[in-house]
A and B are shown apart, each in its own frame.
Chain A
């Protein structure tokens, strides 16, 4: 059993490598876009708290659409391939980042902000020197959640011709070959762990030391 699995791994190695690379591309591009949208938007919402719940509510609604259905929606509009997959994954990554950015900044102790303002800090200085550093652990937690989710959901990209590790999984399902399913699923799990670990390291690195 194990020997067969190893032989299969050897035979499939090029496919696993291509799949992993495509998977990383899908994940990174989608996360980059999601971060570029959600981080500034989250910060903006802390300045416009009246509309915050509405906007976050809208992204929550996207989150409740089953990921498979979301991909399905994209196909008539964007065809097949990289494009629909990236858009669906981006939409999926938005909520955790947006919500944690907002919650993290709103949760910063008002006394600390008042102290900063009292020392003559501008609003921008308060944001970059007080609010963001103090909210960082929560913001990073959001990014990590989004990352792990997007890596998982990206397996579905194989259904719309975007490749990735889902390709091996769906081939395995089509042929009822557990070993092939594992050949796709194990790298996905490893990617999740690896990315999560990397982000944790980044988080520790950028965190204020004297907390």
Chain B
């Protein structure tokens, strides 16, 4: 009996080691797609997984909701990830530490990061999905109308009477609050830093008046918030595109063809709607992504 148990244990151990999808080297027929820790990135992970699995023979492993920009950017450089979706503005300012100098255009920024990435990081930028998830400031539509605020310049004039609530990242980024504050001469009192999940509801409930927001967030429409016009163009363009490691692409060039099927197919409004389905209707990102792929003839 004891021998039998020992045998059973050793078989189980052997199986569990085998089950870890070969810990001593990556399976070359599997690609790993990663994503940052917010809804849109989750949806993009499953959209990319969907088209790759449909159009190639590769297996896709997903590592969704990993962490912030830096976690994911370091992971793809180390080779822990093969693919993830990045935003042009984030890559330019956050990751490469370059300066964004307006006037510029989405194309100029895209070409610039694409060249630097191919050159320095051996990571390839594929074609953008089509939407611009830029930073923006938002406030309650009712309050904006009351104070007749349309643009960030209008806001600046009345900013000393309003309360700003923002994510820690926005407050700290060079192209975030400090830039907006300088260019528009904002006079907010001590801004309240908070978790990205709380800002929209805090604004809706009147805990704060102005928040930093992403232009594709589903909650902007759902919570009746107004996006203020960036009339001095302080925010860089944030067009999303898939990034892939050059060595992975060399091994499986078909991935590029598969992912480029999505190029230009999702505009900002479309992305907001997809985000709203997850954030507000409580659907899973996986389901939302697959529904969209099916509805648009990708599956």
Residues of A within 8 A of B (CB): 18, 75, 79-81, 158-163, 167, 170-177, 180
Contacts and interface: CB of A to CB of B under 8 A. Distances in A.
Given A80-B202, A170-B168, A158 B193 contact: yes
Nearest to A68: B195
A174 B68 contact: yes
Nearest to B170: A174
B205 interface: yes
22 contacts: A18-B190, A79-B202, A79-B207, A80-B192, A81-B207, A159-B194, A160-B195, A161-B198, A162-B192, A163-B192, A163-B193, A167-B168, A170-B168, A171-B171, A171-B172, A173-B168, A174-B68, A174-B168, A174-B173, A175-B169, A176-B68, A177-B172
Interface string B53-73: 000000000000000101000
Contacts of B172: 171-172, 174-175, 177, 180
Contacts of B169: 171, 174-175
Contacts of B205: 79
A160 B168 CA distance: 11
Contacts of B165: 80, 161
A158 B70 CA distance: 20
B167 interface: yes
Contacts, number: 62
Interface in B155-193: 165, 167-169, 171-173, 190, 192-193
A150 B256 CA distance: 51
A171 B194 contact: no
Contacts of A171: 168-169, 171-172, 193
A141 to B, nearest CB: 34
Contacts of A176: 68, 70
Given A161-B192, A161-B198, 18 more contacts: A80-B165, A80-B192, A80-B208, A81-B192, A81-B207, A158-B194, A159-B194, A160-B198, A161-B165, A161-B207, A163-B193, A167-B168, A171-B169, A173-B68, A174-B173, A175-B70, A176-B68, A176-B70
Contacts of B68: 173-174, 176
Contacts of B194: 80, 158-161
Which of B190, B194, B202 has the most C-beta atoms of chain A within 10 angstroms of its own C-beta?
B194
A80 B168 contact: no
B70 A161 contact: no
Which of A18, A167, A180 has the most C-beta atoms of chain B within 10 angstroms of its own C-beta?
A167
A80 B68 CA distance: 23
B247 to A, nearest CB: 24
Nearest to A81: B207
Nearest to A159: B195
A175 to B, nearest CB: 5
Nearest to B172: A171
Contacts of B168: 158, 167, 170-171, 173-174
B163 to A, nearest CB: 10
A162 B205 CA distance: 16
Nearest to A170: B168
B262 to A, nearest CB: 28
A60 B214 CA distance: 40
Nearest to B202: A80
A176 to B, nearest CB: 4
Nearest to A174: B169
A158 to B, nearest CB: 6
A180 B174 CA distance: 14
B118 to A, nearest CB: 23
B237 to A, nearest CB: 21
Contacts of A162: 192
Nearest to B206: A79
